[in-house]
Amino acid sequence: MAEATVFSQHTPQGTASPEPRPAAPGAGREPHSAAGAGSGGLPEGFEVIPGAGPAQRPGERPTLRLREGEPEEPPRYAPEWLRLREPADAAARSAESLDPLRIRLANLPSRHGGLIVHDLGCGTGSMGRWLAPLLDGAQHWILHDRDPYLLHFAAVASPRAAADGSRVTVETRRGDVARLTPDALIGASLVTASALLDVLTREEVDTLAAACAGAGCPALLTLSVVGRVEITPADPLDAEITAAFNDHQRRSGLLGPDAVGAACEAFAAHGATVHTYPSPWRLGPDHRELTAQWLRGWVGAAVEQRPELRPRADRYLAERLEACAAGELRVVVHHSDLLALSRPTGGAG
Ligand SMILES: C[S@@+](CC[C@H](N)C(=O)[O-])C[C@H]1O[C@@H](n2cnc3c(N)ncnc32)[C@H](O)[C@@H]1O
């Protein structure tokens, strides 16, 4: 199964985000600012933190990697990128989704034992830092990711208390969430994810929906990109960059901007009631660092997808970064949150 380089450009909030520790030499986890032109990397101005865009290390071939049959590890998200986006993610996630979720959780048969929450593709754990303090009652979070480095950050900066002061505990599980089975979710009260769906394939989203339906537990899957961006002031190149970026996201069969539609279909096919909520990033002068990184990743991916854009994209990016630094740029990156209420099976919670 093929997988493209990571760059789902989503986000979280929180105050407890961990400080990144120095990466082990050669581990490939450092924020490799890309090599300059001529060393196989991205050209000057397109350097991005891994996760924000198609970053490459010197000599590394670009985005495409095979998940099976290749010794290379999957692409990684730099904790710096996840930390940078955490406040914007937290501000963006829809609070509206929490009302129907709370009702469902309140009606769990054995709620008294506390909630068991599985956070898939947890990264450094921003979803838990956002959601745990918004829900009442004791919670045990099971944080899943394939990257042990990110799991380490998630464990050390985990949320400690629920909305009503009840205890929150966590454990981490390393693995491929695309292969989740209903058995892995036995006893789950809730499945969450943030900025994950669009880096999965349709088949993987179907597997996830089947696992949630099999376990009878609701799923709150936040911050999937939907492929729409508004930038003020507008530029004639906005639409072309957007289209090229969206095509880049769909490379190798990943869902990219089609993720929410595919997930709605998958969960509905398994009998779930599905709600979606807008959850846009609204970036202005207070988010210059995030906006600049996002721009580099967004334009860099577009150029990787359509190299003929490069001369115009160079000019475009330089002007956009200048406006951003001057506090004159506003960006709305549209996302969607999805709440899927699977039919309870009686064993949850
Ligand atoms: C965009 S990051 C989001 C991280 C975090 N949820 C957040 O909102 O900050 C996507 C995360 O999903 C993880 N991931 C992607 N595909 C995965 C898979 N198939 N199995 C396990 N983890 C995966 C990545 O390692 C990364 O931590």
Ligand 1 atom nearest to 76, measured from its CA: 25
Averaged over successive runs of 10 residues, the pLDDT of the chain (349 residues) comes to 31 30 25 28 58 48 39 77 97 98 88 88 98 97 97 96 97 94 93 97 97 95 98 98 97 95 98 98 97 97 97 98 98 98 72
pLDDT given at position 346 = 63
Does residue 208 line the site of ligand 1, with CB under 6 A? no
Does residue 119 line the site of ligand 1, with CB under 6 A? no
H helix intervals, 157-287: 202-215, 238-249, 259-269
The domains found in the chain, sorted by start residue, are 87-226+256-281+334-341 (3.40.50.150)
If residue 168 lies in a helix (H) or strand (E), which one and from where to where?
strand 168-174
Q: What's the gap in Å between 72 CA and the centre of ligand 1?
A: 17
Ligand 1 atom nearest to 8, measured from its CA: 1
Ligand 1 atom nearest to 82, measured from its CA: 9
Q: Report d(CA 345, CA 223) in Å as an integer.
A: 27
pLDDT given at position 257 = 97
**Mutation probe of ligand 1 site: the residue of 77, 93, 151, 192 with most atoms within 8 A of C-beta:** 77
Does residue 82 line the site of ligand 1, with CB under 6 A? yes
Ligand 1 atom nearest to 179, measured from its CA: 19
DSSP 3-state of 119: strand
Start-to-end CA span in the chain (Å)? 34
Ligand 1 atom nearest to 11, measured from its CA: 8
277: CB partners within 8 A, 6+ apart: 94, 96, 97, 336, 337, 338, 339
Does residue 8 line the site of ligand 1, with CB under 6 A? yes
Does residue 221 line the site of ligand 1, with CB under 6 A? no
* Ligand 1 atom 26 nearest Cα: 123
Full 3-state SS string of 60-90: CCCCCEECCCCCCCCCCCCHHHHHHHHHHHH
Ligand 1 atom nearest to 6, measured from its CA: 1
> Biggest alpha carbon distance in the chain?
62
Does residue 83 line the site of ligand 1, with CB under 6 A? no
Nearest one of 199, 70, 202, 26 to 123, comparing CA atoms: 199
Does residue 154 line the site of ligand 1, with CB under 6 A? no
311: CB partners within 8 A, 6+ apart: none
Does residue 122 line the site of ligand 1, with CB under 6 A? yes
Does residue 195 line the site of ligand 1, with CB under 6 A? yes
Q: What's the gap in Å between 319 CA and the centre of ligand 1?
A: 32
What is the separation of C-alpha 173 from the centre of its chain, rounded to a whole number of angstroms? Answer: 18
Which amino acid type is present at position 189?
S
pTM: 0.84
In sequence order, the β-bridge partners of residue 230 are 332
Q: What's the gap in Å between 121 CA and the centre of ligand 1?
A: 3
pLDDT given at position 72 = 54
pLDDT given at position 275 = 98
